Structure 1
Amino acid sequence: MITVADLRPARLSVRDVLRVGGAGLRARPLRVFLSALGIAIGIAAMISVVGISTSSRENLDRQLAALGTNLLTVGPGQSLFGEQSHLPDSSIGMIDRIEPVLSTSATGKVVGAKVYRNDRIPETQSGGIAVLATRPDLPDTVGATVTSGAFLNEANARYPAVVLGHRTAERLGVGVAGPDQRVYLGDQWFTVVGVLNPVPLAPELDTAALIGWPIAEQSLKFDGYATTVYTRTREDAVEAVQAVLAATANPENPNEVSVSRPSDALAAKQATDQTLNGLLLGLGAVALLVGGVGVANTMVISVLERRAEIGLRRSLGATRGQVRIQFLAESLLLSALGGLGGVLLGVVVTVSYAAYQDWPSVVPAWASAGGVVATMIIGMVAGLYPAIRASRLSPTEALATP
Structure 2
Amino acid sequence: MSRNGRNLVPARLTARDVAQVGSAGLRGRPMRVVLSALGIAIGIATMIAVVGISSSSKAKLMQDLDKLGTNMLVITPGQDMLSGKSAQLPEKAPQMIGQIDGVEDVGAVGTVDANIYRSEHTPATQTSGLSVQAASESLLETLRGSMASGRWLNAANSTYPAVVLGDHAASRLGVTAPGQQVYIDGRYFTVVGILGPLPLAEEIRTSALIGWDAAQKLLGFDGHPTSIYERSADDKVEDVRDRLQRTANPQAPHEVTVSNPSDALAAKAASEGAFTKLLLGLGGVALLVGGVGVANTMIISVLERRHEIGLRRSLGATRGQIRLQFVTESLMLSGLGGIAGVLLGSVATWVYATTGGMPWVVPPTAMAGGFVATLAIGTVAGLYPAVRAARLSPTLALHAG
TM-score normalised by the chain length of structure 2: 0.89
Paired position in structure 2 for 1:123: 124
- Amino acid paired to 2:282: L
Paired position in structure 2 for 1:235: 234
Change (3 A) 1:187 1:19: farther
**Contact 1:105–1:230 (CA under 8 A) maintained in structure 2:** yes
Inter-partner Cα distance in structure 1 for 2:384 and 2:364: 32
> How far apart are residue 163 of structure 1 and its match?
0.4
> How far apart are residue 294 of structure 1 and its match?
1.4
Paired position in structure 1 for 2:175: 174
Inter-partner Cα distance in structure 2 for 1:262 and 1:202: 7
Root mean square deviation of aligned Cα: 2.3
The answer to whether 1:57 aligns with 2:58 is yes
What SS is found at the alignment partner of 2:175? coil
Paired position in structure 1 for 2:94: 92
Paired position in structure 2 for 1:377: 376
* 1:234-383 alignment, distance < 5 Å: 234-383=233-382
Change (3 A) 1:250 1:285: farther
> How far apart are residue 187 of structure 1 and its match?
4.1
Paired position in structure 1 for 2:145: 144
**Contact 1:143–1:201 (CA under 8 A) maintained in structure 2:** no
**Contact 2:333–2:378 (CA under 8 A) maintained in structure 1:** yes
Inter-partner Cα distance in structure 2 for 1:243 and 1:22: 71
Change (3 A) 1:372 1:117: same
**1:327-379 deviation per Cα after TM superposition (whole angstroms, max 9, x unaligned):** 11111111111111111111112222222233221111111111112211221
Paired position in structure 1 for 2:103: 101
Paired position in structure 2 for 1:26: 27
Inter-partner Cα distance in structure 1 for 2:111 and 2:306: 79
Paired position in structure 1 for 2:4: none
Inter-partner Cα distance in structure 1 for 2:273 and 2:386: 39
Change (3 A) 1:168 1:365: same
What SS is found at the alignment partner of 2:20? helix
**Contact 2:101–2:240 (CA under 8 A) maintained in structure 1:** no
Paired position in structure 2 for 1:110: 112
**1:241-268 deviation per Cα after TM superposition (whole angstroms, max 9, x unaligned):** 2233233323454444332224301112
Change (3 A) 1:79 1:296: farther
> How far apart are residue 53 of structure 1 and its match?
2.5
What SS is found at the alignment partner of 2:54? helix
**1:205-256 deviation per Cα after TM superposition (whole angstroms, max 9, x unaligned):** 2222211223333444444332221111112222322233233323454444
Change (3 A) 1:303 1:54: same
* 1:391-402 alignment, distance < 5 Å: 391-402=390-401
**1:273-319 deviation per Cα after TM superposition (whole angstroms, max 9, x unaligned):** 22222222222122212212211221121122222222222222222
**1:147-166 deviation per Cα after TM superposition (whole angstroms, max 9, x unaligned):** 22211123422332110112
What SS is found at the alignment partner of 1:158? coil
Inter-partner Cα distance in structure 1 for 2:159 and 2:33: 74
**Contact 2:61–2:269 (CA under 8 A) maintained in structure 1:** no
**Contact 1:40–1:341 (CA under 8 A) maintained in structure 2:** yes
Inter-partner Cα distance in structure 2 for 1:252 and 1:52: 50
> How far apart are residue 80 of structure 1 and its match?
5.6
- Amino acid paired to 1:131: V
Inter-partner Cα distance in structure 2 for 1:34 and 1:266: 43
Change (3 A) 1:84 1:284: farther
- Amino acid paired to 2:115: K
Inter-partner Cα distance in structure 1 for 2:105 and 2:129: 30
> How far apart are residue 94 of structure 1 and its match?
2.3
> How far apart are residue 11 of structure 1 and its match?
6.8
**Contact 1:55–1:363 (CA under 8 A) maintained in structure 2:** yes
**Contact 1:64–1:201 (CA under 8 A) maintained in structure 2:** no
Change (3 A) 1:17 1:257: farther
> How far apart are residue 114 of structure 1 and its match?
2.8
Inter-partner Cα distance in structure 2 for 1:244 and 1:382: 65
- Amino acid paired to 1:244: R
Paired position in structure 2 for 1:165: 166
> How far apart are residue 137 of structure 1 and its match?
1.0
> How far apart are residue 106 of structure 1 and its match?
0.8
**Contact 2:49–2:348 (CA under 8 A) maintained in structure 1:** yes
What SS is found at the alignment partner of 1:211? strand
- Amino acid paired to 2:98: D
Percent identity, please.
57
Inter-partner Cα distance in structure 2 for 1:360 and 1:135: 35
**Contact 1:75–1:258 (CA under 8 A) maintained in structure 2:** yes
What SS is found at the alignment partner of 1:156? coil
Change (3 A) 1:227 1:387: farther
